[in-house]
Amino acid sequence: PVVTLKTKMPGPYLIDVASADQIECALTNAVARPPGVLAAARALCDDLHSFRDGNSSARILNAVDHFFAHQQPKLKRKPMNLIRKIKVRRRLAKALANAYDN
């Protein structure tokens, strides 16, 4: 359980207190592991990250391998954007000049 002090995003998965005087009592409550708060925290975790089977990294690596094998060869090269390069260099030159002037 998480104990917060005047949180701006309260929820049933937190133990929120309004003043510092209440923190000790809230921590004692948190150590007791209240079932309602723990159930709400588990529900939040399930909602945020539904894959808790330990294979998330393997899925990412498989997706990367699939991309390199099947989709990367189909990508077109980015066009050379000379105007953008000139603008960026001009902006960088101004920033460097200002940095050395100060």
In tens, the pLDDT along 8-36 reads 999 999 999 999 999 999 999 999 999 99
Confidence at residue 6, expressed as pLDDT on a 0 to 100 scale: 94
Regions of the chain with pLDDT less than 50: none
Confidence at residue 77, expressed as pLDDT on a 0 to 100 scale: 85
Confidence at residue 102, expressed as pLDDT on a 0 to 100 scale: 65
Contact assessment for residue 15 and residue 1, using Cβ atoms and an 8 Å cutoff: yes
Confidence at residue 99, expressed as pLDDT on a 0 to 100 scale: 85
15 class by beta-carbon count within 10 Å (0-12 exposed, 13-18 middle, 19+ buried): buried
37 class by beta-carbon count within 10 Å (0-12 exposed, 13-18 middle, 19+ buried): buried
Confidence at residue 50, expressed as pLDDT on a 0 to 100 scale: 75
Q: Report the alpha-carbon distance of residue 85 to residue 92 in Å, rounded.
A: 10
- In terms of residues, how long is the chain? 102
